[in-house]
Amino acid sequence: MSVKKAIKICLFVFLFASLLFPVSCKKRMPESPMSEGQQGAAVTGAAGTGQGVVQGAASGIGEENLSSGARAATQGVSGKTAGSQAAATVAREAFLAKKLYFDFDDAALRYDAIGVLKDQARWLRSNPDVSIIIEGYCDERGTDEYNLALGARRAESVKSFLAKAGIDAGRMMTISYGEERPVDPGHNEDAWAKNRRVEFAVR
């Protein structure tokens, strides 16, 4: 065999070996005992658990603070509501407690009665859903028929004043009790002065 031929054979063998070497050296990595689905589930579960713990802790703190804040807000609203209701009740009782007094055998409004009626009108404007009864009374002197008519005139005087003050006449009803239902059962001027009056009721 000639030298050139031997060199060619050696080069051929070298090239063939160099081509086979990378293929034979490339090894596959051993597979994980878990499948891809299991690996994905494990990763998702870990992330989900961690996130759940963090969110749960944060949620717990938030809910506790929220509950405290909600309770405080509710108590504040309840306190304000109770306070408003109490104030409204006091104002209503004050309205009903006021009386207007008249001179003997007279249905004209006295100066002191006008001051009271201005307060009554303000309360009625602040409570537009309230309708009232205006009750007229007299002292025991005079006949029953006369006193019933006088009590009616006194109640109508009050209604007229309130209507001029802007209170709808449809919210007001008048009634006369004459000399019935005296505040003071006495038979003297002090008792009679107390009995010549107008009172208010809510209907």
What's the pLDDT at 44?
43
Provide the domain count of the chain. 2
Q: Could you tell me where the DSSP H helices lie in the chain?
A: 3-25, 36-97, 111-126, 144-164, 189-195
Q: Is residue 26 in some structural domain?
A: no
Are residues 122 and 64 part of one domain?
Answer: no
Backbone Cα Rg of the chain: 50
pTM over 0.85: no
Are residues 171 and 81 part of one domain?
Answer: no
What's the pLDDT at 84?
87
Are residues 90 and 123 part of one domain?
Answer: no
Q: Is residue 109 in some structural domain?
A: yes
Q: Is residue 123 in some structural domain?
A: yes
Closest CA to 138 of 125, 120, 156, 151: 151
> Cα angle at 194 between 192 and 196, to 5 degrees?
70
Q: Which long-range contacts (CB under 8 A, 24 or more apart) does 115-118 make?
A: 117/158, 117/161, 117/162, 117/165, 118/165
Reported as a single tens digit per residue, the pLDDT across 130-152 is 999 999 999 999 999 999 999 99
DSSP string spanning 109-127? PPHHHHHHHHHHHHHHHH-
Each residue's pLDDT, cut to its tens digit, for the chain (203 residues) gives 565 666 666 566 666 566 655 544 444 554 444 544 444 444 344 444 444 444 444 444 454 555 666 565 666 666 678 888 899 999 999 999 999 999 999 999 999 999 999 999 999 999 999 999 999 999 999 999 999 999 999 999 999 999 999 999 999 999 999 999 999 999 999 999 999 999 999 99
What's the pLDDT at 27?
47
CATH number for the domain spanning 108: value is: 3.30.1330.60
What's the pLDDT at 103?
97
Q: Which of the listed residues 37, 70, 97 is the one where a domain comes to its end?
A: 97
Are residues 109 and 165 part of one domain?
Answer: yes
Q: Is residue 41 in some structural domain?
A: no
Reported as a single tens digit per residue, the pLDDT across 57-71 is 444 445 455 566 656
The domain of 62 spans 47-97
Are residues 108 and 175 part of one domain?
Answer: yes
Q: Is residue 12 in some structural domain?
A: no
What's the pLDDT at 21?
53
